[in-house]
């Protein structure tokens, strides 16, 4: 990228960028010499050089006539770029924090909400488990256990919440199955089902969390959260049918 493009990116006008670039090559020069070399009106050069001096891009060399010297790019431009990068990072953190606050804020009743990205989704599920008063039903693939959600399920069991966990059986995921059983969840497995691309969870017969993801892009999964007793009842019936035909984990 040409130096003039860099300067324009940080807010320099066309003339201002030309003057600074020209002064870098001339080392020191009078306003008239800079204007001639940059091919811009001399009347504009005086004002722009004074502006650059106030902003710390050039220094004024006393004498008659007054001469100007440009500071090196490394000391004049890089600090500005570093400040911009830091500002972008601050904004990224604020966006992430705002997302989390939205995910954890009180949710409206009888509503469908969408959440994308695992960092947000796990907070939503964790909060739904924590808010449950009677029953939690999980239909999952018994993959890698998310520590925060797992700890919240263990607390729910200790609060006497009925927690049932159901999913397809695979030999490779037995450890995960037994970990749920170890903390007091009732666990059943379905043989020969394979691994679907969805999980779903039910909370107190009124909230459904429906989780879609690709095996190759799990971090970009999508959670559909439905707070509606009729929809929750429908999926509870599906869960109970699957539960009846499933086998107890031995």
The tokens for 243 are 């539960």
What global pTM score does this model have? 0.57
Least confident of 7-16, 114-123, 148-157: 7-16
Residue 229 exposure: Cα atoms within 13 Å on the Cβ side: 1
pLDDT in the model for residue 103: 65
- Is 23 within 8 Å of 29 (Cβ atoms)? yes
- Phi and psi torsions of 103, nearest 5°: -65, -35
CA distances 106 to 55, 101, 114, 127, 128, Å, are: 48, 10, 15, 10, 11
Class of 107-248 in CATH: alpha beta
> So where are the chain's domains?
3-80, 107-248
Is 107-248 the same fold as 3-80? no
Over residues 64-91, mean pLDDT: 79
The tokens for 134 are 């009677």
Angle at CA of residue 164, ends 157 and 134, nearest 5° = 55
161: CB partners within 8 A, 6+ apart: 132, 133, 134, 135, 136
Query: Above 60 in pLDDT, residue 128?
Result: yes
The tokens for 169 are 């059986």
Q: Which CATH number fits domain 3-80: 1.10.10.10, 3.40.50.620, 3.20.20.70, 3.10.450.50?
A: 1.10.10.10
Signed CA dihedral, 158, 202, 108, 134: sign only: negative
Confidence of residue 68 (pLDDT cuts 50, 70, 90): confident
Does the N-terminal peptide bond of residue 65 adopt cis geometry, omega within 30 degrees of 0? yes
What tens digit of pLDDT does each residue of 201-218 get? 999 989 999 888 665 555
Least confident of 72-86, 115-129, 220-234: 72-86
Query: Above 90 in pLDDT, residue 193?
Result: no
- Phi and psi torsions of 193, nearest 5°: -85, -30
Nearest to 211 by CA among 114, 137, 127: 114
The tokens for 159 are 């609060």
């Amino acid at each position: 990228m040409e130096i003039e493009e860099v300067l324009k990116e940080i807010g320099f006008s066309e003339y201002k960028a030309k003057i600074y670039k020209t002064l870098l090559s001339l080392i020191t020069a009078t306003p008239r010499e800079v204007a001639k070399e940059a091919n811009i009106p001399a009347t504009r050069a005086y004002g722009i050089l004074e502006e650059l001096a106030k902003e710390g891009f050039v220094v004024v060399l006393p004498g008659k006539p007054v001469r100007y010297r440009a500071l090196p790019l490394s000391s004049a431009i890089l600090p500005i770029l570093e400040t911009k990068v830091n500002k972008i990072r601050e904004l990224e953190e604020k966006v992430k924090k705002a997302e989390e606050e939205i995910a954890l804020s009180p949710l409206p009743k009888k509503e469908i909400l969408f959440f994308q990205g695992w960092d947000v989704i796990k907070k939503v599920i964790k909060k739904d488990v924590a808010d449950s008063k009677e029953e939690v039903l999980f239909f999952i693939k018994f993959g890698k256990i998310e520590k925060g959600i797992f700890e919240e399920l263990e607390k729910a069991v200790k609060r006497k919440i009925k927690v049932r966990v159901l999913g397809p059986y695979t030999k490779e995921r037995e450890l995960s199955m037994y970990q749920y059983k170890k903390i007091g969840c009732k666990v059943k497995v379905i043989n020969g089902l394979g691994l679907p691309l969805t999980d779903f969870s039910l909370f107190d017969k009124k909230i459904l969390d429906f989780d879609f993801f690709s095996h190759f892009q799990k971090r970009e999964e999508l959670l559909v959260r439905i707070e509606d007793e009729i929809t929750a009842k429908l999926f509870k019936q599906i869960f109970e049918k699957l539960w009846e035909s499933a086998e107890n984990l031995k």
